[in-house]
Amino acid sequence: MTVFKGYMKIVKANIGLILMYLVIFLGITMMIQAVTKDTGGGSYSAESVQIGIVDEDGGVLAEGVKDYLGQFHDVTLMENDKEKLQESLFYRNLEYIVKIPGGFEEKCLEDGEKLEVTKVPGSYTSFYVDQQITSFLNSVKTYYAAGYSASDAVDSALDRQDASIKMMDINGNAGEIPGYTYYYRYIPYLLLCVLCYVLGNILSAFRKGDIPKRMQASAVSSRRQNLEALLAAGILGGALWAVCIAGGFLLYGKELLKSSSIPYYLINSLALLFVVLALAYLVGMLTSNTNALNGIVNTISLGMCFLSGVFVPLDILNKEVKTVAQFLPIYWYEKVNDTLSQFGNITGSVRAEVLQSIGIQLVFAAAIVCVAMALSKKKRIAA
Amino acid sequence: MIKIENLVKRYGKLLALDHLNLEIEEGEIYGLLGPNGSGKTTAISCMLALLKYDKGTISIFGEEMSPDNYGIKQQIGIVLQNVAVFDELTVYENIDYFCGLYVKNSQERKKLVAEAIEFVGLEEYIKMRPKKLSGGLLRRLNIACGIAHKPRLIIMDEPTVAVDPQSRNRILEGIQELNRQGSTIIYTSHYMEEVEQICTKIAIMDHGRSIAVGTKEELKSMIKTGETVTIEAVVLGTDQIKDIRLLPHVFDVKYDEQVLTVRCTGAKHNLIRILNYLQENEISFGRVFSELPTLNDVFLEITGKELRD
């Protein structure tokens, strides 16, 4: 195991570099996933509008309109002073003014007359208030037409409960995407950057100057040298993977432990590790120049991550990009990640789909290792 | 011990080895001497099965050499032209690592590594990283990495390139000591002085072929030159150069920038005859040198060009 020990000694000599890359990219990953996760909520909260009401009717229906709007908005009773009202709108003290003219109750219930409203031009929230008023008046008119008195019709419309909607939790995740999904989405970037940089640097030590010739002329076969190198790379990759997984448990401990999908997340990330290890080995084969290595690693990691749904969710990517991405292993990792985020319970066809995508990643890993081995042999012969 | 027959290696259209034949006996320090590009390193790479060749056979220790013949590789140590050590490992770790590619037993290896360190005189530097070593010390480390497992055959490819004279002498003495300890050594160089100093047998290479083989005495006896006389700061006319060329035993005269170089056959009194001629003709002159033939003269006569052209 001389070659293996040699690799581990060089890993030990590079431990500062490894930790530096790990801290930098783990920090970037956590930062990106935290930012992305936070943008998901709060988009659909109802907004409260400043409404002024001029009541010249004073009837039951007018009171009902005031009470109804008061449930959702800040309602202020105003005098019918045109200048004051326009001033309030101009200075945005009010966004919406409802004028209830005298005799409105009768005209509305009998003839279907609408309320006179004034609103800030271009205010999208005004449409929301329009809908609420129309909905309330329609309800009152319906009750009235059904034989209710005006007072009962207004009370009934006010008491009306919103329809109870029960979500069918078909996927088992209550329609919510768990937070750790975002963390797992960014793991490919972390693994790709750290492993390609670190393994690239370590492999370059073995390809410097005449060291390959010395290794090749030695009594240890090339096959054994490659196997021991792969074992060392595997241990390094395994340690990094363990750090990534531990990071996930550190951030989402309880949530992750409760999840029934966690074995699939782990298997998927392990398959990804094999892919990244193979890629890192290939990148290490391509160059021994540190500057060139940086360029190659940046191109591969950023390119793959953008195309495969790491930085941009797969749903947003267009069809053509997705077609291209299917030829990249990270796409299949993200596909599994997306599926796991949508389904709380993994059964039947979903499980088959997940395992198929994991299998595709492993095939990619094997193919990349074969390319790296062939390249290594070609370089050896050409040397 | 090593037999190379009709070895041909092409790099595209370039013929690097042109039916090379070599035979190396056990216990020799065998020098491969030739200018850069003469095929020395290619020949060594083929011997070590680092390169595929187009034609010919290589047998080492009576067996055909191949990339998978680890039995032969086990008995070979290599010291390459470029220093091949890990910058990340210390002097001790480097020697231990490369020795470990041949010797599995850690106790035995420990002893061998200690001996190699003592042999190259790096005892004070064992905990240092290669980047902190001087060029000479680095070359010594490179040698220690190649010889620590006490190989039967050591192949050294220009191990003294870019080394100061003091370190070079130490390395050359070390090579002779390894030979005394029982190792057969193949030594390539384009420094003829080194080859003359340490090699028991020499093959002169040019254009991928071995153009002359023998001991240094045998090689020198192959050529006409017995003595080369060089006279500086001398002003001569065409007739006078012709006269010198007609002196007994003189076979080649060169006159360039007031430096006269006269090659003579092995007869005695060549220098006296030339100086007498200059004195008789009242021709003044500066410094005078007389040299016995060198391997450069051998190369010059056989190929018509200087070894370092």
ipTM: 0.80
**pLDDT exceeds cutoff 50 at A41:** no
* The pLDDT value given to residue A167: 60
Claim to verify: residue B199 and residue B282 sit in the same structural domain: no
Q: Please, which residues have CB within 8 angstroms of residue A211's CB and are 6 or more apart in sequence?
A: A205, B84, B85, B86
In a domain, A185, yes or no: yes
Strands of B259-264's sheet in order across: B250-256, B259-264, B227-231, B288-291
Boundaries of domain holding A94: 50-159
Residue B161 lies inside a defined structural domain of this protein: yes
Q: Is the pLDDT of residue B305 over 90?
A: no
Given A10, A211, A220, which is nearest B84 (Cβ)?
A211
A9/chain B closest Cα distance in angstroms: 7
| Of B81-95, B165-179, B273-287, B295-309, minimum mean pLDDT range | B295-309
Q: Tell me: pLDDT of A261 over 70.
A: yes
Q: What is the mean pLDDT of residues A202-209?
A: 84
Which of B50, B92, B97, B138 should we substitute to test contact with A (largest number of A Cβ atoms within 10 Å)?
A: B50
For chain A, positions 19-48, list CB contacts with chain B under 8 A.
none
- Edge-first strand order for the sheet with A50-55 is A74-77, A50-55, A96-100, A116-119
User: CB A209 to CB B73 under 8 A?
Assistant: no
On the question of pLDDT at B169 being above 60, the answer is yes
With a pLDDT cut of 90, the percent of chain A lying above it is 10
pLDDT of res. B151? 92
A197 and A132 together in one domain: no
Q: Residue B85: inside a domain, yes or no? A: yes
Per-residue pLDDT band at A176 (split at 50, 70, 90): low
In a domain, A353, yes or no: yes
Q: Of B170, B195, B221, which one is at a domain's C-terminal end?
A: B221
Domain end call among A105, A130, A159: A159
Mean pLDDT estimate for chain B: 88
Q: Which of A192-206, A341-355, B125-139, B221-235 has the lowest mean pLDDT?
A: A341-355
> Touching check for A13 and chain B: CB below 8 Å?
yes
Q: What pLDDT, on the 0 to 100 scale, is given for residue A165?
A: 64
Q: What is the pLDDT of residue A366?
A: 93
Asked if residue B206 and residue B78 are part of one domain, the reply reads yes
On average, the pLDDT of chain A sits at 83
Residue B274 DSSP SS3: helix
Q: What is the pLDDT of residue A162?
A: 62
Q: Inspect the interface and report whether the beta carbons of B102 and A14 lie closer than 8 Å.
A: no
Which of B180, B205, B221 is the endpoint of a domain? B221
Whether A132 has a pLDDT exceeding 80, the answer reads: yes
Q: Does B102 touch chain A (CB under 8 A)?
A: yes
Nearest C-alpha neighbor of B263 from the set B231, B286, B295, B229: B229
Instruction: Judge whether residue B286 has pLDDT over 80.
Output: yes
- pLDDT for residue A348: 78
Cβ separation of A214 and B86 shorter than 8 Å?
Answer: no
> Helices A179-206 and A262-286 sit at what angle, rounded to 10 degrees?
30
Closest partner residue to B73 (CB to CB) among A6, A218, A381 is A218
Question: Quick one: B123 and B155 in the same domain?
Answer: yes
Question: Could you tell me if A249 and A310 lie in one domain?
Answer: yes
Q: Which of A2, A3, A205 sits opposite B86 (nearest CB)?
A: A205
- Do the domain assignments include residue B276? yes
Within-domain flag for A164 = no
B70 neighbourhood in chain A, CB within 8 Å: 219-221
Q: Are residues A91 and A136 in the same domain?
A: yes
Q: Is residue B309 part of a domain?
A: no
Statement to judge: residues A212 and A144 lie in one domain: no
Q: Are residues B99 and B85 in the same domain?
A: yes
d(CA A190, CA A174): 30
Check residue A43 and give its pLDDT. Answer: 47
Residues A66 and A152 reside in one and the same domain: yes
**Domain end point (choices B195, B221, B247):** B221
Q: Same structural domain for residues B122 and B101? A: yes
pLDDT at B92: 95
pLDDT at res. B130: 92
**Closest residue, chain A, to B72 (C-alpha):** A219
Q: Tell me how far apart the alpha carbons of residues A374 and A368 are, in angstroms, rounded to a whole number.
A: 10
Whether residue B275 sits in one domain with residue B133: no
Predicted confidence band at A273 (pLDDT cuts at 50, 70, 90)? very high
How many Cα neighbours within 13 Å face the side chain of A319?
Answer: 0
Q: Is B131 on the interface with A (CB under 8 A)?
A: no
Residues B242 and B207 occupy one common structural domain? no
Mutate to test the interface with B, among A208, A218, A222, A225 (most CBs of B within 10 A): A218
| Residue B275 pLDDT class (50, 70, 90 cuts) | very high
Please tell me if residue B73 touches chain A, with a CB cutoff of 8 Å: yes
Q: What is the token pair recorded at A242?
A: 């363990």
The total of structural domains in chain A comes to 2
Could you tell me how many CB contacts below 8 A there are between chain A and chain B? 76
| pLDDT tens digits along B88-119 | 899 999 999 999 999 989 899 999 999 999 88
The whole-number pLDDT of residue A381 equals 61
Judge if B178 and B264 occupy the same domain.
Answer: no
| Nearest residue of A to residue B73, measured between CA atoms | A219
- Whether residue A69 lies inside any domain: the answer is yes
Q: What chain A residue is nearest to B52 in terms of C-alpha separation?
A: A381
With a cut of 50, say whether residue A233 has pLDDT above it: yes
Q: Among B122-136, B161-175, B234-248, which stretch is predicted with the lowest mean pLDDT?
A: B161-175
B146 at A interface, C-beta within 8 A: yes
Instruction: Using a cut of 0.95, tell me whether the model's pTM lies above it.
Output: no
pLDDT band per the 50, 70, 90 thresholds, residue A42: very low
Q: Is B161 in the A-facing interface, judged by CB distances under 8 Å?
A: no
Inside any domain, residue A85? yes
Do residue A97 and residue A70 come from a single domain? yes
Is B302 a domain residue?
no
Which band of pLDDT confidence, cut at 50, 70 and 90, is reported for residue A40?
very low
Cβ pair B249, B270 in contact under 8 A:
yes
- If DSSP states are collapsed to H, E and C, what string results for chain A? CHHHHHHHHHHHHCHHHHHHHHHHHHHHHHHHHHHHHHCCCCCCCCCCCEEEEEECCCCHHHHHHHHHHHCCCEEEECCCCHHHHHHHHHCCCCCEEEEECCCHHHHHHHHCCCCEEEECCCCHHHHHHHHHHHHHHHHHHHHHHCCCCHHHHHHHHHHCCCCCCCCCCCCCCCCCCCHHHHHHHHHHHHHHHHHHHHHHHHHHHHCCCCHHHHHHCCCCCHHHHHHHHHHHHHHHHHHHHHHHHHHHHHHHHHHHHHCCCHHHHHHHHHHHHHHHHHHHHHHHHHCCCHHHHHHHHHHHHHHHHHHCCCCCCCCCCCHHHHHHHCCCHHHHHHHHHHHHHHCCCCCHHHHHHHHHHHHHHHHHHHHHHHHHHHHHHHHHHHC
State how far residue A219 is from chain B, nearest Cα, in angstroms.
Answer: 5
In a domain, A44, yes or no: no
User: Are B183 and B253 in the same domain?
Assistant: no
CATH code of B149's domain? 3.40.50.300
Structure-token pair, residue B62: 């009576």
Measured in angstroms, the CA of B269 and the nearest CA of chain A are apart by: 51
Q: Tokens 């150069």 correspond to what residue?
A: B241
Please report the pLDDT score of residue B75 as a whole number. 92
Domain that holds residue B272: 227-292
Given A2, A13, A220, which is nearest B88 (Cβ)?
A: A13
Residue A37: per-residue pLDDT = 58
Question: Quick one: A29 and A73 in the same domain?
Answer: no
Q: Is the pLDDT of residue A44 over 60?
A: no
Predicted confidence (pLDDT) at residue A383 exceeds the cutoff of 60: no
* A343, part of any domain: yes
Residues 174-233 of A with CB under 8 A from B: 205, 208-211, 213-222
In this structure, are B184 and B251 located in the same domain?
A: no
CATH assignment of the domain containing A83? 3.40.1710.10
Same domain, A127 and A269: no
In a domain, B299, yes or no: no
B120 inside domain? yes
Report CA-CA distances (Å) from A243 to A187, A240, A334, B284: 11, 5, 20, 86
Domain count, chain B: 2
Q: Same structural domain for residues B99 and B134?
A: yes
Cβ within 8 Å, pair B97-A9: yes
Shared domain check, A192 and A258: yes
Task: Determine which of A4-8, A277-281, A378-382, B188-192 has the lowest per-residue pLDDT on average.
Answer: A378-382
| Nearest chain B residue (CA) to A202 | B88
Q: Which chain B residues touch A383 with a CB distance below 8 Å?
A: 50-51
A136, A159, A182 — which closes off a domain? A159
Residues A377 and A228 in one domain: yes
Residues B44-84 have pLDDT tens digits of: 999 988 888 899 999 998 888 888 888 899 999 999 888 88
B266: domain CATH number is 3.30.70.100
Smallest Cβ–Cβ distance between A9 and the set B52, B93, B145 belongs to B93
Of B70, B83, B86, the CB nearest to A219: B70
Pair A79, A34 in one domain: no
Q: Which of B51, B74, B82 sits opposite A210 (nearest CB)?
A: B82
pLDDT bin (cut points 50, 70, 90) of residue B234 is: confident
pLDDT per residue over A313-357, tens digit each? Answer: 777 778 888 888 889 999 999 988 888 887 767 777 888 888 999
Are residues A211 and B86, on separate chains, in Cβ contact within 8 Å? yes
Look at residue A181 and tell me if it is in a domain: yes
Nearest by CB to B50, from A2, A13, A217: name it: A217
CA distance A230 to A300: 21
Same domain, B116 and B243: no
pLDDT digits (tens, 9 = 90+) for A54-107: 988 888 889 998 999 888 888 988 888 888 888 888 888 888 899 998 888 888
Distance (Å, whole) CA B95 – CA B89: 9
- Do A115 and A193 fall within a single domain? no
**Is there a domain that residue B298 lies in?**
no
